[in-house]
Structure 1
Amino acid sequence: MLLLTKKYSPYFLFILSSFFMLSCVKDVDFDQAETLKIESVVDVSLLYFDLQASQVGFIPNNDVNPYSVQDTTKLEIFSKPFLEENLKEATFDFEFLNSIPRIFNAKIVLYDNAYNELDEIEILVDSPKITNTTSYNETEIQKIKNMAYMGIELMLMPGAPMLDPNSSGELLLKSSGTFFMSIDAD
């Protein structure tokens, strides 16, 4: 706690008042609030699965007949009007980790509310690690704004070795979306 004696009190008041009288004050332009623009980046996890080789091994003749897995996920984030108004760009990242000694073909499909196909991303999983980045710029962003569902169809390509219920290995998919937003004060 600062104690001021009567001897120092007038000096303190003089210094304090000098500070306030000599300090600079910049004019505030309140019209700047109308031109305010906030840009942000939002990362969201999208699709994830872990397919075991032993599950594929239950499919008869999996060395010649393609095995297909399909799944569709509703993406609630795209039903918000905020996204419709402010989304400028988007990027989807897909990573496949494959320790099953077979090749897979993955097809990621973007659907609207009525399950109409908006876009399709095809990825051949022919090595232990496959990454894919798909971007949507301002001219293509309407596809993303209209998206309500994301689906995946996974197909085991014909070949060897034949998988059985005792086969080891897995196919793992991790994916995310990065959304670039621009929020205007207008």
Structure 2
Amino acid sequence: MKRNLIQRISVALLAAIFFLSCSSDLDFNQVNDFKIEPVFVANVAYFNVKANDIEDDGTAHQIPPDVEDFDVFKNKFLNDHLTKAELNFEIENTFNRAFKVEIVFIDANDQPTETITLNVPQYNGGVNIIKYPTEVFEGDRLALLKKTVKVGFIITIEAGTGDISGNLKLKSGATAYMRIE
């Protein structure tokens, strides 16, 4: 009988705990304070100019420019939520000549909105990979970037003598910072 009484008291206490437990009102307005800030990394452009792609007469001249469509900012979601963008450029030069590489951002009216110039020293043996400072786009500069519909690449070979051989390789990447509220 003593055991039965202990079991009844235990069940009664457990039931009381379940029915008398604490609860609070739920605040569904907290969803209005929801904010997420994802970061995306992507490759942007790549090219490899070979010696046989260049007409060399020893003088400084432009290699015919290459203009590509750039429809990234047609995406309304990206346009609305992008708060910052960083572009990174890396060039490997194995030519015995220096180069100037210009990346031109072009708007819908075929007007350049921004030009990034990368000076590339000539190859002197060994590893010749140049990592350029990160280009950061925020505020007004980001607003101009969002208007970009085409990107042009203008490559100028510097004057020099002797046959040229080698490659000029560009790799670029972007880091996009977004805020979704």
- Aligned AA for 2:48? D
Query: Shift of the alpha carbon at 1:26?
Result: 4.8
2:173 aligned with 1:176: yes
TM-score w.r.t. structure 1 length?
A: 0.78
Q: Distance in 2 between matches of 1:81 and 1:154?
A: 32
Distance 1:21 1:44, change over 3 A: same
Question: Is 1:118 paired with 2:113?
Answer: yes
Counterpart selection for 1:32 from 23, 30, 33: 30
- Alpha-carbon displacement from aligned partner over 1:67-87 (angstroms, at most 9, x marks no partner): 413112212221111122111
SS of the residue aligned with 1:177?
Answer: strand
1: distance between equivalents of 2:119 and 2:10? 77
Distance 1:147 1:176 in 2: 16
- Stretches of structure 2 lacking an aligned partner (at least 5 in a row): 1-7, 123-127
Measured in 2, the distance between the counterparts of 1:91 and 1:66 equals: 30
TM-superposed deviation, 1:151: 1.2
Report the counterpart of residue 131 of structure 2 in structure 1: 131
Give the % identical residues.
27
Encode CA deviations 1:143-164: one digit per residue, 9 max, x unaligned: 121111111101111123332x
The verdict on how the C-alpha distance between 1:25 and 1:95 changes in structure 2, with shifts beyond 3 A counting, is: farther
User: Over aligned residue pairs, what C-alpha RMSD do you find?
Assistant: 2.5
In the superposition, the TM-score normalised over structure 2's length comes to 0.80
Q: Which residue number in structure 1 is paired with residue 45 of structure 2?
A: 47
Give the C-alpha shift of residue 15 in structure 1: 9.0
Q: Provide the C-alpha distance between the structure 2 equivalents of 1:76 and 1:19, rounded to a whole number of angstroms.
A: 61
* Letter matched to residue 105 of structure 2: L
* Displacement of 1:142: 0.4
Task: Work out the CA distance in 1 between the residues paired with 2:23 and 2:135.
Answer: 50
Query: How many pairs were matched up?
Result: 168
Answer yes or no: is the 8 Å Cα contact 2:60–2:156 preserved in 1: no
SS of the aligned residue for 1:34 comes to helix
- CA displacement 1:8-56 (0-9 Å, x = unmatched): xx99977975774576545431111112111111222211111112332
Flag structure 1 segments of 5+ consecutive residues without an equivalent: 1-9
Is the contact between residue 69 and residue 155 of structure 1 (CA under 8 Å) also seen in structure 2? no
Offset at residue 89 of structure 1 (A): 0.8
Counterpart contact for 2:91–2:169, Cα < 8 Å: yes
User: Structure 1 residue 60: deviation in Å?
Assistant: 4.3
